[in-house]
Amino acid sequence: MILQATSATDDLSDSHIAQHECLFDEPDVHESVCDNIDDDSAGDVNDSLESDMDTDSNTAQTEPGDASYNQPLYEGSKVTVGAVIVLLMTFILRHHLPWCTVEDLLMLLQIVLPASSLLPKTRFLFEKPFRACTGIIDFCYYCPVCFVKVETRHINECLNCNETVNLDLYKSGNFFITLPLTAQLRDMFENSNISQLISHRFQRSKTNTRNIEDIYDGSVYNEAVGSKDASHISLTWNTDGVPVFQSSNYSMWPIQCVINELPPHLRRKHVLIAGLWFGVNKPNFNSFLKPFIDECNSLKSMGFTWFTNTKKTCTTFVTTLVCAVDSVARCMLQGIKQDSDIGFVYNS
């Protein structure tokens, strides 16, 4: 393997290597960049992305289009550009690499890959497919004392509990994330065959007409959705705590939704994430669920619009039908306490 690697580098032209000599000629620049990276830099990600965008948009670099992500990395490659980008980002996150290291890594890859490689050459181009996701994530902040949702990340005093806080709630971790369902549903309907698959309830064949074989056979479903056409769908949602680390009490509470009108074997392959709570404390569900409930009410009354392949505008209405949780989460959602010894619940 060493001989093969040596042989491969011998084939590199002097001009090809010269294009990347700056990787080794300017260590002071890279060290200064690394020195400026600290824990507080996470809150300035969007500002960094905007500055990179302005810088790289003025260069003559050819930007890969969306279609190129599905093309082979280079002629004869068995992996696509998109697959390599995802693998690299996974590696970067797994090992907590600073961006100066990522930029050096991209330069090194340009040396060892064929000149025809479609791998992004700059940080801006590398981040481009991920940057499209930033607009669908909302940060919701809450008071660290009473856990009531507040409007801004910087507060001096909580208007609900009147406690002096004086914190940057982002840096202190007093926030949760919401991912609007409207954007996710629109993307699914416009960029996949979901709109055809949701007709499953009209096409299925029952084993026995008297059996309850799926959610469609229930009285609640039939009352809410059953008599309506394919422009109406329904969701089943769930939330539960998942421990993140074995050595600490941190847990993660996602809000997950599935579309009931999909065939049963496809429902878990198309899970929607509507929210995410992370921290030592369990969620305050009055705060955590409010954005989700507000959007569910809007989707039921107004629906969401999307475009077909022929650019026809469609509107689909969404009914949030069932919440499926275990006994512990159910008590928390209902605001009641559970007595594990005597096996019943009572109002808190």
Closest C-alpha among 90, 268, 128, 257 to residue 184 = 257
Give the confidence band of 227 by pLDDT, cuts at 50, 70, 90: confident
Give per-residue pLDDT as tens, 179-210: 999 999 998 999 888 889 998 988 888 888 88
**E strand or H helix at 154:** strand 154-157
What is the per-residue pLDDT for 31?
39
What is the per-residue pLDDT for 33?
34
Spatial distance between the Cα atoms of 129 and 74, rounded to a whole number of angstroms: 19
Cβ neighbours around 120 below 10 Å, total: 23
What is the per-residue pLDDT for 134?
54
SS3 284: coil
Which pTM was predicted?
A: 0.63
Alpha helices in the chain (DSSP H): 2-10, 14-18, 22-25, 27-35, 45-57, 81-94, 99-112, 123-131, 181-191, 194-197, 200-203, 219-221, 264-267, 285-288, 290-301, 327-334
Q: Which pairs with CB-CB distance under 8 Å and at least 24 residues apart come from 82-91? A: 82/129, 84/119, 85/119, 85/120, 85/126, 85/129, 88/126, 89/130
Q: 152 pLDDT exceeds 80?
A: yes
